[in-house]
Structure 1
Amino acid sequence: MNHTSIDDHHLISQVLPRHVAIIMDGNGRWAKRKGLPRIAGHKKGVEVARKIIIKSCELGIPYLSLFAFSKENWQRPREEVETLLALLVEYLNKELPLMMEKEIRFKVIGDKEDFPEVLRKKIDEVEKLTSNNNKMTLVLALSYSGRAEILRAIKKILEKLKEKALKPEEITEESLRNFFYFPELPDPDLLIRTSGELRISNFFLYQIAYTEFYFSEMLWPDFTEEEYLKALKSYQQRERRFGRVYEF
Structure 2
Amino acid sequence: MSKICNFQTKAVIWKEAIEIKRSSLIYIIGTIIFVLVMQIMAANQLLTNNDLPKASKEILLGYSIIYISIMCIPFLGSTLLSRLMYEERLDSAVHVLLATGMDQITLWIGKMFITYFVTYIVFITTTVIYYFYIYIMYEYSVIINFEIFLTAFIIMPFLAFGFLSLLGYTYWVIKNPQIFGMIFPIAFTIGGWNVAIKYIERTPTALAIAIVIVVAVVINTITYILVKKTSKSQITNI
TM-score computed with the length of structure 1 as normaliser:
0.26
More helix by share: 2
Bigger RCO of structures 1 and 2 (CA < 8 A, at least 6 apart): 2
TM-score computed with the length of structure 2 as normaliser:
0.27
More strand by share: 1
